[in-house]
Amino acid sequence: MEVVNSPDTRIRATEYLSSIWGSRYFWFSLVRMDLRSRYRRSVLGIGWSLLQPLAMTCVLCFVFSTLFGVDVKSYGAYLLIGLSFWQFVTNCILQGCRAFQSAESYIRQQPQPMLIYPLRVVLASGFHFLLSLGISVLLVWTLIGFGNLPALPMILPILLLVFALGLSLAMIASVANVYFPDTQHLAEVGLSIVFYMTPVIYTKELLSQRKLDWLVDINPLANALELLRSPILFGELPNLWRLGVASGTIGIVCLFACALFFSRQRMLIFKL
Amino acid sequence: MAYIRLENASLTFRMQRLGGTALKDYVVKQLFRRSKNPPIEVRALQNINLNIDAGTRLGVVGHNGAGKSTFLKLLAGVYPVTSGRVVVNGRISSLFDINVGFEMESNGWENIEFRGLLQGETPKSIRAKAAEIAEFSELGDFLNGPIRHYSAGMLVRLAFSVATAVEPEILLVDESLSAGDLAFQSKAKKRIHQLCDKAELVVLVSHDLAAIQSLCNRAIWLDHGQLRMQGDPDEVVEAYHEFQTKKAAGQNEVEKLNGAKSGHEATQQLAIVRSSAPARGDASTDTSTFSCRKRYAA
């Protein structure tokens, strides 16, 4: 098979995808190692990653129920989904910033499709996200009941959207951090601002009472979160309008990420 | 059949003097239009034209920084060309930088598997080779412990054993002929020779001119990123050797001359640079040195 290396070679999307598939054993073992090495020396093992959202949920539930008299039953699961999702997003962005730097020695040795490094980050944090999402479903079942069963399969295409969003964010973060080493620091600041603009610990209704619905509509993170919550918490299919807005905003992020990533990836090694 | 074609292949690095630019610096720079961190262009390889066909064992010679390793990485596909074309037909196995990229927390066996996967093996094929790799590395029970505890020499052995457990079509080798202690080195040398025999096409970068003469049937000489000479290994090595000795002799002469003439000027120059550097910061040091030299030359 002839491989041409020249400034004006255009790789077709199908070729790129098949080269990612071709190196699957390698990046899969990277993901596995990420998961394994994190728990190698801890007694709690996999529980560690769940500890953070669970503990936060307990604390916030306690505070909100005593101060504002919120119903713990529904709020607990609401919060857990929100916090797990937020942790997933944070991980994608902050660990995404280090995606190329931490893999530099592999990049300098063996040419691999560059996308596998942000992909590795998203898969590892996605694993934890799925675990805590599973716990949320169990929580809903024990506290509220199995009313959501018919709507649950809907969660699969929604998860696909969430995954696309996470990967896009990681792609943007990884490239940005190669060019601007202070990206990670700025991202931390930005994330804590967006956190309060997203209905993670408060409900969307609080915003609509103040005519701030548009804050949710333009925010791809809030959209994705709304989509996730409806089948798990309320056992209903997300309405078409929300689905459309969510796909639209996430699509924009995706397009931007791809444009940035694929215009830069060839020359990235010179900046490492 | 394996082959490599380079058509006018050039590679120019654009490097930043001080790592990357922070985003806030970038914004400031855009506002004030004055860069304190200008990119430096390094023309690592310039207009290389070369056809390497199957059966060739190509030796690459040249001084440090001539572009030998860059050349190898270009062939491997690690670096993109900035102009021209490189066409490679065949599966590439590369032996360079083999000592980095290990997972320190994992044990030897896991690293064998992991490195194998990086080299393009499947889990099945690397497991079949694992026993042979372990035997060649002579690490025995150490393989069960995390490689964090390995000595540098042990790590080199492991790295070499995994990296050479390949069936190469195109083999790219960089200076890895010296690995570990003496006994292992001779073993390693033999293994490299075997690999070269198995491969359809070999590119070998080495400072060991004798190794190039004995292993290769063709050689090129790279000088400041340019292809200075190509042909029979003996001729190329001889020409390169002659050039090196001449250069060394020439340098001695120049040093003698300089020492006799300009001891005083040199100290003065140094003093000026020292006094001006801290005030103006890192980037301005070069220009002040330059202007001083100019003044004293005139």
* Interchain contact, A25 vs B23, CB within 8 Å: no
- Give the residue-averaged pLDDT of B202-228: 91
| B177-192 pLDDT per residue, tens | 556 678 888 888 888 8
CA distance B130 to B132: 5
- C-alpha pair distances (Å), A218 with each of A143, A223, A252: 33, 8, 11
Torsion of CA A119, A120, A124, A127, to 10 degrees: 40
Is it the case that residue A239 has pLDDT exceeding 70?
A: yes
How wide is the angle at C-alpha A148 spanned by C-alphas A142 and A149, nearest 5°? 95
Nearest to A1 by CA among B203, B170, B119: B170
H helical segments located in chain B: 23-32, 68-76, 108-118, 123-137, 152-163, 182-198, 209-215, 233-261, 263-280, 285-297
Nearest to B153 by CA among B196, B183, B119, B111: B183
Helix or strand (DSSP H, E) at A247: helix A240-264
Give the per-residue pLDDT at A45: 65
Of B22, B82, B87, the CB nearest to A7: B82
Residue A250 C-alpha from the chain's centroid: 12
Inter-chain CB pairs, A–B, below 8 Å? 99
Residue A262: pLDDT band (50, 70, 90) is: very high
Give percent of chain A above pLDDT 70: 97
Of A5-14, A124-133, B129-138, B154-163, least confident by mean pLDDT is A5-14
Contact A184, A94 (CB under 8 A): yes
Residue count of chain A: 272
* Interchain contact, A5 vs B81, CB within 8 Å: yes
Q: What is the pTM of this model?
A: 0.85
Give percent of chain B above pLDDT 70: 78
Of A6, A40, A109, the CB nearest to B85: A6
CA distance A165 to A125: 13
A261: tokens are 């990533």
For residue A122, how many other CB atoms are within 10 A of its CB? Answer: 26
Q: Which of B97, B118, B122, B162 should be substituted to probe chain A, the one whose Cβ sees the most A Cβ atoms within 10 Å?
A: B118
Residue A20: closest C-alpha in chain B: B120
Interface residue B109 vs chain A (CB under 8 A): no
| A158-216 pLDDT per residue, tens | 999 999 999 999 999 999 999 888 899 999 999 999 999 999 988 888 888 888 888 88
Minimal Cα–Cα distance from A68 to chain B, Å? 42
Helix or strand (DSSP H, E) at A33: helix A24-39
Give the per-residue pLDDT at B296: 40
Residue A93: pLDDT band (50, 70, 90) is: very high
Interface residue A32 vs chain B (CB under 8 A): no
Minimal Cα–Cα distance from B46 to chain A, Å? 14
Interface residue B49 vs chain A (CB under 8 A): no
Chain B residues within an 8 Å CB radius of A102 = none
Query: Average per-residue pLDDT in chain B?
Result: 80
Contact B93, B43 (CB under 8 A): no
Which residues 6+ apart lie within 8 Å of A168 measured at CB? A250, A253, A254, A256, A257, A258
Chain B residues within an 8 Å CB radius of A105 = 97, 100-101
Give the per-residue pLDDT at B201: 94
Q: What is the DSSP letter of A9?
A: -
User: What is the amino acid identity at position B21?
Assistant: T
- Give the residue-averaged pLDDT of B5-16: 87
The helix-helix angle for A72-97 and A155-179 (nearest 10°) equals: 40
Interface residue B8 vs chain A (CB under 8 A): no
Highest averaged pLDDT of the listed ranges A53-57, A68-72, B265-269: A53-57
Interface residue B54 vs chain A (CB under 8 A): no
Interface residue B105 vs chain A (CB under 8 A): yes
* Interchain contact, A270 vs B113, CB within 8 Å: no
Give the per-residue pLDDT at A134: 92
Residue count of chain B: 298
CA distance A203 to A52: 21
Interface residue B281 vs chain A (CB under 8 A): no
Contact A140, A148 (CB under 8 A): yes
Minimal Cα–Cα distance from A179 to chain B, Å? 6
Residue B278: pLDDT band (50, 70, 90) is: very low
Residue A179: closest C-alpha in chain B: B20
Interface residue A116 vs chain B (CB under 8 A): no
Of B78, B120, B121, the CB nearest to A269: B78
Classify B45 as helix, strand or coil: strand
* A 185-204: CB under 8 A from B: 186
